[in-house]
Amino acid sequence: MSATQNGASDRRKAEGPGAVKQPRGAEGAIKKVGVIGAGVMGAGIAAHCANAGVPVVLLDIVPGGAERAVQTMLRADPAPFMQRSAARLVTPGNLETDLALLADCDWICEAIVERLDAKQALYAKLEAVRKRGSIVSSNTSTIPLGALVGGAGEGFARDFLITHFFNPPRYMRLLEVVQGPQTRADAVAAITAFADRSLGKTVIPCKDRPGFIANRIGGQWMQSAINNAFAMGLTIEEADALMSRPIGVPKTGVFGLLDLVGIDLMTHVAASMKATLPADDAYVLGLREHPLIMRLIKEGRTGRKGGKGGFYTRSRDASGASVKYAIDLATGEDRPEKKARLESLEQRDLRKLAEHPDRGGQYMRAVLLDLLSYAAALVPEIADSVADVDAAMRLGYNWKWGPFELIDKVGAAWLAEALRADGRPLPPLLAQIGAGSFYRTEAGVLEYYGTDGAYRPVPRAPGVLLLSDIKRRSQPIAKNSGASLWDVGDGVVCLEFHSKMNALDPDILAMIGKAIAMGKKGAFKALVIHNEGENFSVGANIGLALFAANIAAWGEIEGMIEQGQKAMAALRAAPFPVVGAPSGMALGGGCEVLLHCAAVQAHAETYIGLVEVGVGLIPGWGGCTTMLRRWAENPRAPKGPMPPVAKAFEMISTAQVAKSAFEAKEMLILRATDGITMNRDRLLADAKARALAMVEGYAAPEAAKPLRLPGATGRAALSMAVQQQVLMGRATPHDVVVCEHLANTLTGGKKDHTDEITDDEVMELERQSFMALLKTPGTLARVEHMLETGRPLRN
**Known catalytic membership, residue 496:** no
What are the start-end ranges of the H helices in 113-167?
116-127, 145-148, 154-158
How many whole angstroms separate alpha carbon 657 and alpha carbon 684? 23
How many whole angstroms separate alpha carbon 697 and alpha carbon 676? 24
Task: Give the residue among 676, 692, 304, 750 at the shortest CA–CA distance from 524.
Answer: 692
How many whole angstroms separate alpha carbon 466 and alpha carbon 458? 12
Task: Give the residue among 470, 544, 558, 480 at the shortest CA–CA distance from 512.
Answer: 480
| Backbone phi, psi, residue 546, to 5° | -65, -45
Which of the following is catalytic: 592, 605, 663, 766? 592
How many whole angstroms separate alpha carbon 138 and alpha carbon 140? 5
Non-local CB neighbours of 225 within 8 Å, separated by 6+ positions: 239, 243, 254, 367
Query: Which strand ranges, in their side-by-side order, compose the sheet holding 526-529?
Result: 478-479, 483-489, 492-497, 526-529, 578-580, 599-603, 675-677
**Residue 21 Cα distances to 12, 32, 68, 116, 753, angstroms:** 11, 14, 28, 37, 42
Identify the three-state secondary structure at position 443: coil
How many helices (H) and strands (E) are present in the chain, helices listed first?
Answer: 32, 26
DSSP 637: S
**Known catalytic membership, residue 612:** yes
Which of the following is catalytic: 176, 405, 605, 612? 612
> Hey, which residues does 325 pair with through a beta bridge?
313, 336
How many whole angstroms separate alpha carbon 295 and alpha carbon 312? 14
Non-local CB neighbours of 481 within 8 Å, separated by 6+ positions: 499, 507
Phi-psi region of 748 (alpha: psi -120 to 50; beta: other; left: phi over 0): left
Q: How many CA atoms lie within 13 A of 771 on its CB side?
A: 16
What are the DSSP E strand ranges found in 630-741? 657-658, 675-677, 707-708
- Sort 27 into a burial class: Cβ within 10 Å, 0-12 / 13-18 / 19+: buried
> If you write DSSP's letter for every residue of 720-768 in order, what string do you get?
HHHHHHHHTT---HHHHHHHHHHHHHHTTTT--TTSEE-HHHHHHHHHH
Q: Find out whether 573 and 518 touch, Cβ atoms under 8 Å.
A: no
Non-local CB neighbours of 171 within 8 Å, separated by 6+ positions: 78, 605
Neighbours of 372 (CB within 10 A): 24
Task: Give the residue among 610, 606, 604, 613 at the shortest CA–CA distance from 628.
Answer: 610
Radius of gyration (C-alpha) of the chain in whole angstroms: 28
What amino acid positions are annotated as catalytic residues?
Answer: 592, 612
